[in-house]
């Protein structure tokens, strides 16, 4: 069992909307609701905390009103906020980190990511998507990373060793490469939201 952080403190500037990204409606519910639903359905997640900042006051209030655990960070950037959260919460073992904008994600997939981490004997496990897969669906390519000489789209779903990211030294990294639509649908632009809504709506009708 591992705890999970939902990173919901970014500006979401690529959306170009007044609404905070975690609060954008997706099939009748805010994006963040879909992520929390997946976390609550996972068997290997012990607890979760939503990470907010000055950039996401409405998200913060919404989560508090829902009774979810919330931590307000300093909005110094994703990695600094992650370190601050891990330090404040004292989560020094494996921690699942994920964005608030992967509405199709499921608890079963999160459980499998945790299972893979347990097997890999590394300090960090990233979940990547082939760039070509996002391009084929006309989704944006907003964040990429290199793994074993190949560049991939970043899903934002990772597992980190809390103690390791707070310390110095090189981090041992592993990765899962997947084309599963539940992971591919990471929302970074209004067009991404439109495409994801169409795809998931079609799935729900099948």
Domain boundary assignment for the chain: 2-205
pLDDT tens per residue across span 157-193: 999 998 888 776 566 789 999 999 999 999 999 999 9
Taking residues 65-92, report their average pLDDT: 93
DSSP secondary-structure letter at 172?
P
156-174 exposure pattern, b = at least 16 Cβ within 10 A, e = fewer = bbbbbbbebbeeeeeeeeb
**Token couple for 145:** 């990373």
Count Cα neighbours of 60 within 13 Å in the Cβ-side half-sphere: 13
Which pTM was predicted?
A: 0.90
Check if the beta carbon of residue 9 is closer than 8 Å to that of residue 75. Answer: yes
Fold of domain 2-205: Spore Coat Polysaccharide Biosynthesis Protein SpsA; Chain A (3.90.550)
pLDDT tens per residue across span 26-49: 999 999 999 999 999 999 999 999
pLDDT surpassing 90 at residue 15? no
């Amino acid at each position: 069992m591992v705890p999970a952080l939902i990173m919901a403190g970014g500006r979401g500037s690529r959306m170009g909307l007044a609404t905070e990204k975690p609060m954008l409606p997706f099939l009748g519910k805010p994006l963040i609701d879909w992520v929390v639903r997946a976390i609550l359905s996972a068997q290997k997640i012990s607890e979760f905390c939503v990470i907010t900042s000055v950039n996401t006051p409405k998200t913060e209030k919404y989560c508090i009103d829902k009774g979810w655990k919330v931590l307000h960070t300093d909005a110094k950037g994703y990695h600094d906020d992650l370190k601050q959260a891990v330090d404040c919460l004292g989560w020094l073992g494996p921690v699942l980190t994920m964005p608030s904008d992967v509405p199709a994600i499921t608890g079963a997939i999160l459980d499998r990511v945790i299972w893979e981490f347990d097997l890999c004997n590394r300090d960090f496990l990233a979940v990547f998507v082939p760039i070509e897969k996002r391009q084929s669906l006309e989704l944006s390519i907003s964040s990429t990373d290199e793994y074993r000489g190949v560049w991939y789209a970043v899903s934002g779903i990772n597992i980190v060793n809390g103690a390791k990211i707070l310390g110095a030294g090189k981090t041992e990294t592993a990765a899962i490469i997947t084309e599963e639509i539940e992971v591919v649908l990471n929302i970074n632009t209004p067009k991404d939201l439109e495409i994801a809504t169409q795809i998931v709506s079609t799935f729900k009708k099948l």
